[in-house]
Amino acid sequence: MKIRTLALIVIFISTLYAQEGQLNRNIKPDERYKADVLLVVAHPDDETAVGSYLAKLIFDEHRKVAVIYTNRGQGGGNSIGIEQSQAMGEIREIEARKALAKFGIENVWFLNGYDTPGQDVLHALKNLKHGAALESMVRFIRLTRPEVIFTWLPHFVAGENHGDHQASGVVATEAFDMAGDPTAFPDQVATPRERMDIGNFNEGLNPWQANKIYYFSDADEEVIAPGPKFDASEISPSRKLPYYEIASELNTPHLTQGDVSESGLKAQKTGDFTEFKNYHNRFHLIFGKSVVRCSPEGDVFEGVTSGAHPYVAPRGYEPRKPEGLGIQLGGPFSFYEDFWRAHNIENVGPLIKPEINVAYGSYLNIPVIIRNNTKDSVTVTLQAKLPEGFRLSSGEGRYFLAPGETYPIETFVFAPAEASRGPYEVIWNALSDGKQIGSLSIKTFLSEWTLPQ
């Protein structure tokens, strides 16, 4: 080849290169934060509830798990130090990180809720700063891109029934239904203007539709519900220990929560894991919903698709329009009736009939709503039918309702100072013109101590 021809070829190739330039490649989301399962709980130590299941997922199925806590557990007592409240919350954050590190979980975030010891989900949502928490939760789903979400059951139960637990389940469910919608918190999914420069207020995430959501409960009685089969006594092939025994490792760093850490430390010292065996054998995941075809009893990853799943809109709120005169439970009970339907998890509603746990001698607040969906004004009489030893405080009386009106009434009853656990049936009857128009009852369990209602 002549020198001149060669020179022409070189010029031709370099011109081509200059015209087309370097091939640009899309920048991918950060793989270090991709999770298979996102666990959403309320407090440091809540992760112990699902410890045996996490052991199986992590050690034997090699799944990546990320965890969100909605608060730092500032509301409890401190077993080893004087630090309380916010200061103790900072300690508990570290304890939770140490616990999860035992399972190799590093992607752990805390929302800025304030621990709210009580049974009312609405009160807990208020202290969680519901709107801000939802925005954060949607962000974490988009960041971690989980196929599956595990969280506390959004339901009122007789048991610990921690309002914060319920609230974490409520916000996780709402975020499950929002994270795939680019119009929800659009700044999160907008492209940053100058990725390598300062002041990029758009976050550069992608919408993300998780495949499935499963729940677990802190109810005293085992919640019998469809969910994946799991045996906590099964021996982990990799660790050669029963899953409940591996789960005990999560307990030990929670030193500010003496009962939690001591049970783990004692079991590991004595080799007696009976407490863990009993606890974790009662544990199971409750099927919430799935946007992919699967059986509620099937494996957690059955039918799961990798990569982004197209957005699936939830049903959304639809007003209930019962006809005529009647009564129904109000407050959190009424909220859940609407919430379950709006988020297509009405399957979890009937799992637990209305029930409550109250302390001996403590009050029992039952919110009642009287509705008048007739064309006439009416007077409704509310009467309590109480078990022996229970004492009425307030709520009985005559109530006037205009056509189309609903009347919320907070009723109060005192439980006996000493009694057996029950259950007892507390009943409210509503009458109009001498005829019964409705009745509702709450199965009431008594114990020495419960969270305040």
Closest distance of CB 46 from Zn ion, Å: 4
Contacts of 290 (CB under 8 A, 6+ apart): 211, 212, 213, 303
Q: End-to-end distance of the chain based on CA atoms, in angstroms?
A: 92
Q: Please, are residues 212 and 187 in contact by the beta-carbon 8 Å criterion?
A: no
Task: List the beta bridge partners of residue 67.
Answer: 39, 108
Please identify, using beta-carbon distances, which residue of 44 and 395 lies nearer to Zn ion. Answer: 44
Please identify, using beta-carbon distances, which residue of 37 and 42 lies nearer to Zn ion. Answer: 42
User: Among the candidate windows 38-46, 227-235, 418-426, 440-448, which touches Zn ion by CB under 5 A?
Assistant: 38-46
Residue 46 interacts with Zn ion (CB under 5 A)? yes
Burial of 110 (0-12, 13-18, 19+ CB in 10 A): buried
Point out the residue whose Cβ comes nearest to Zn ion: 43
Closest distance of CB 140 from Zn ion, Å: 19
Closest distance of CB 334 from Zn ion, Å: 25
Closest distance of CB 156 from Zn ion, Å: 16
Please identify, using beta-carbon distances, which residue of 68 and 401 lies nearer to Zn ion. Answer: 68
Task: Give the separation between CA 169 and CA 202, rounded to whole angstroms.
Answer: 28
Closest distance of CB 160 from Zn ion, Å: 7
Please identify, using beta-carbon distances, which residue of 128 and 205 lies nearer to Zn ion. Answer: 128
Closest distance of CB 42 from Zn ion, Å: 5
User: Among the candidate windows 45-53, 106-114, 260-268, 405-413, which touches Zn ion by CB under 5 A?
Assistant: 45-53
Residue 13, both tokens:
């190739």
User: Among the candidate windows 32-40, 43-51, 145-153, 424-432, which touches Zn ion by CB under 5 A?
Assistant: 43-51
Determine which residue in the list 39, 40, 43, 382 makes contact with Zn ion, applying CB under 5 A: 43
Please identify, using beta-carbon distances, which residue of 43 and 92 lies nearer to Zn ion. Answer: 43
Sheet holding 397-401, edge to edge: 355-359, 435-447, 424-432, 378-385, 397-401
User: Among the candidate windows 37-45, 103-111, 142-150, 288-296, which touches Zn ion by CB under 5 A?
Assistant: 37-45
Please identify, using beta-carbon distances, which residue of 42 and 175 lies nearer to Zn ion. Answer: 42
Task: Give the separation between CA 213 and CA 152, rounded to whole angstroms.
Answer: 10
Closest distance of CB 137 from Zn ion, Å: 17
# of chain residues touching Zn ion (CB under 5 A): 3
Closest distance of CB 208 from Zn ion, Å: 26
Please identify, using beta-carbon distances, which residue of 64 and 92 lies nearer to Zn ion. Answer: 92
Please identify, using beta-carbon distances, which residue of 115 and 147 lies nearer to Zn ion. Answer: 115
User: Among the candidate windows 34-42, 119-127, 197-205, 267-275, which touches Zn ion by CB under 5 A?
Assistant: 34-42
Q: Which residues bind Zn ion (CB under 5 A)?
A: 42-43, 46
